[in-house]
A and B are shown apart, each in its own frame.
Chain A
Amino acid sequence: MPNHKASYESTPEANIFGFSMAELREMARRLRHHVVSMTATAGSGHPGGSLSAADIITTLYFKVMRHNPKNPQWAHRDRFILSKGHAAPVLYAALAESGYLPVPELSTLRKLDSRLQGHTDRNLTPGVEMSAGSLGMGLSFGIGVALAAKLDGRNYRTYVLLSDGECDEGQTWEAALSAAHFKLDNLTAIVDCNKIQLSGWTRDIMNLEPLNQKWQAFGWHTIDIDGHDFDQILAALQEARNTTNKPTVVIAHTVKGKGVSFMENNVKFHGKAPTPEEAEKALKELE
């Protein structure tokens, strides 16, 4: 690995949404509102894991990442890779609210000829870094992106959002081994640990615990946080930036379906859209 001294070229293109805590909270509410309304309109999709990730994605897009919606290919942008591709609705919502897409386009989710595919597609949606949907691939892709940063002497950061269920996939652990081996301190993995996978609680389907110790044993700096607490999310991402010589994983403890009372911790809403009646009720809660 070449020991390039990272040279961040500051340019007016570096666009950081420096939201306040109140603004972050409001934006997360809007993203959740979009998620419910998009999946209800589509009649299918994965609201549960989108809602659990809303606060993490809000923090990244509106506070932490350097990115420019007017120039999605800006070479120095921080990269966000959604490995849990089924949470596409919440990513699309963040991309729309930050200016990559017109907000009304969100209602085309999953429709024929829409740019908003059921799972993310890099070649169709501006701002989407990776096509995903088959679980376990995002961290490997992120390693490639982070290696390229080191090779090119660029100091952009690479963030990969995984689900906890996705940690069942063997490839996740291949990637975990190699990211530590390559000493990728410019790579941060965030596990949206909502404790539920498609057919039940992760502890019943395939127990992952002790998850923190597993990542630690693989050579990662690990941080456990409440994934709905903006202060904790920000502090963890800052700690990741300050960590050298090894990658950091933020194990974000979240609630599946967070923000809608009857969707919270409800396995039914992993891969099922709310009915029109449920959506109406949910949207009222998210007013």
Chain B
Amino acid sequence: MAVEVSTRETYGKTLIELGKRNPNIIVLDADLSPSTMTHFFAQEFPQRFFDCGLEEQNMIGIAAGLAASGKTVFASTFAIFASCRCFDQLRICLSQMGLNVKIVATHGGITVGEDGTSHQAIEDLALYCALPGFTVIVPADAIEAAQAVKVAADTYGPFYIRLSRPKTPLVYQENYHFALGKAITMRQGRDVTIIAMGIMVAKALEASDTLARQEIDCRVVNVPTLKPLDEEAIVKAASETRAIVVAEEHLAHGGLGSRVAQVVARQKPVSMEFVNLKDKYALSGKADELLQRYGLTAKDIEQAVRTVTKRAQGSL
């Protein structure tokens, strides 16, 4: 069993490191700092932390005003409120104006669990990817999360980084190097490529182990940066393997699957399958129960690989 580490706790600690290095960093939160873990920064740098209360729309505007005045702003809340609650503010204040604000949202996806539909951000990536100028990142583990947060701090422009509520298994070693906009081939393979992001990367690796025993040779590619997308890596996968499966903790429309399909359709059409939450909200339950119920397990990826393999071979 892999070591499990919390991406949001890693975020909170990384912010302190960044705060020490750069006095220009300001952190905002919307009454969730003990959960988003920005409270570490608040304790260390009380003068550079502002709790905006339950005012997400206002928080985005304040972030924009600070950024327009030369600050590098991190603003955090749960992914559902950071996307659906303040979309027009994101559009005008961050996307249109192109300001230097980093939205780091925790509790993304259905793994938020028992809080249920109202708290499960599963359309956030579609919304953020639709905004011109935004960089959108979903780290696969805490090691990648820490590096992505640092890169965001050092790169001008609006960013969205989605983190999880539960601890998640490490898929990287400490010597891993995150490069913005680059996909990472986690495992080489010739038959099918599994493209995944976030918590689905660990599941893709697990699926590829099982499939290897059944003599299906899977390539596993982690795409932490949804936007801008590493088109080259996708075209390479489409050229060198016969089919592609995309796995994501998101609704069917507008997320990683849609984005990869757009590249594949234009540049190198191959058969594809999609492991996602389809077009339906999930209910309350434990994270693992929900992943099983709504089809986001290694077994679901294996099934998708078998389906797409048959189709690619012309037997479906």
- Interface residues of A, Cβ cutoff 8 Å to B: 1-2, 121-123, 129-134, 136-149, 151-152, 170-171, 174-175, 177-178, 181-182
Contacts and interface: CB of A to CB of B under 8 A. Distances in A.
Contacts of A152: 69
Interface residues of B, number: 30
A129 B97 CA distance: 10
B236 to A, nearest CB: 36
A140 B97 contact: no
Interface string B87-121: 01101110011100000000000000000000000
Contacts of B55: 171, 174-175, 177-178
A95 to B, nearest CB: 17
B22 to A, nearest CB: 13
Given A134-B92, A147-B65, A177-B55, 4 more contacts: A1-B47, A130-B97, A145-B69, A182-B50
Interface SS of chain B: helix
Interface of B: 26, 47-48, 50, 52-53, 55, 57-71, 88-89, 91-93, 96-98
18 contacts: A2-B47, A123-B97, A123-B98, A129-B68, A131-B93, A134-B88, A137-B57, A140-B57, A140-B60, A140-B61, A141-B64, A143-B61, A144-B68, A144-B69, A151-B26, A152-B69, A171-B55, A174-B55
Nearest to A141: B65
B64 A144 contact: yes
B96 A144 contact: no
Nearest to B47: A2
The 3 closest A-B pairs by CB, nearest first: A144-B65, A140-B61, A148-B69
A271 to B, nearest CB: 19
Contacts of A129: 68
A44 B216 CA distance: 63
Nearest to B58: A174
A177 B88 contact: no
A48 B198 CA distance: 51
A122 B50 contact: no
Contacts of A123: 96-98
Contact of A148 (B61, B70, B97): B70
Contacts of A151: 26, 47-48, 71
A145 B68 CA distance: 7
A227 B262 CA distance: 55
A178 B58 contact: yes
B53 A141 contact: no
Given A122-B68, A145-B69, A151-B48, A175 B61 contact: yes
Nearest to A139: B61
A279 B88 CA distance: 35
B66 to A, nearest CB: 4
A175 B26 CA distance: 18
B88 A141 contact: no
B89 A143 contact: no
